[in-house]
Amino acid sequence: MNRLVFIFTLFLPVLSMAHGVSYHACREGTAIEAAYDDGRPMAFCDVTVTSPANSPDSYQNGETDPHGRFAFVPDTNGLWKLTVDDGMGHVVTADVLVGHMDANGRHDQPGHDARIPRPIALVTGLSIIFGLFGIYSLARCGKQQPPPKTGCGGEECACTSPKE
């Protein structure tokens, strides 16, 4: 039972590893696509749009589509703030510069709480697991009794005595 609890405890950090969110602005800054770092879209999440005037009221409220996309029609150029919230603690704030996109019409930007890429997180998680298992093994070896001495208790044995 203790081994089962120990193994579960080792894998718990990997199972509960947090994932981040990211976005990219497209269509000349009038639309964004929000996704988790594993590629899944942030579907049906609440979106709040704030105008460059920084008024206390939001310019527009809405929800992302099944693909994590949200579009809005700005009434002026400038830095618009879009906040996408999935209601479970994942929030990405996109600062979208309307009227100033690159030549491709798309500008990728990581979210403010983007996490470590998945391959690096996997290697880190495995390293932690093997490191903790090594420490556990060393601790168990230190508690064991030394192996019993073999031989004949200090007396000369027939199997090891010199032949005459």
Question: pLDDT per residue over 58-69, tens digit each?
Answer: 889 999 999 999
Confidence of residue 153 (pLDDT cuts 50, 70, 90): low
Which of 22-26, 50-54, 132-136, 138-142 shows the highest mean pLDDT? 132-136
State the amino acid at position 79 in one-letter form: L
Strand ranges in 37-155 using DSSP code E only, listed in sequence order: 46-50, 60-63, 69-71, 78-85, 91-98, 106-110
Question: What are the φ and ψ backbone dihedral angles of 94, each rounded to 5 degrees?
Answer: -105, 120
pTM score:
0.52
CB-CB contact of 69 with 38 (8 Å): no
Mean residue pLDDT across the chain: 75
| Beta-bridge mates of residue 48 | 61, 83
- 124 pLDDT higher than 60: yes
- 30 pLDDT higher than 70: yes
**3-class SS of residue 64:** coil
CB-CB contact of 14 with 129 (8 Å): yes
| Beta-bridge mates of residue 96 | 80
Matching residue, tokens 């929800």:
63
Superfamily of domain 20-136: Immunoglobulins (2.60.40.10)
Matching residue, tokens 């999440």:
45
CB-CB contact of 24 with 33 (8 Å): yes
- 25 pLDDT higher than 50: yes
User: Any idea where the domains of the chain sit in the sequence?
Assistant: 20-136
Q: Is 14 left (phi over 0), alpha (psi -120 to 50) or beta?
A: alpha
Confidence of residue 143 (pLDDT cuts 50, 70, 90): low
- Radius of gyration (C-alpha) of the chain in whole angstroms: 30
Matching residue, tokens 């309307």:
98
pLDDT for 85 equals 93
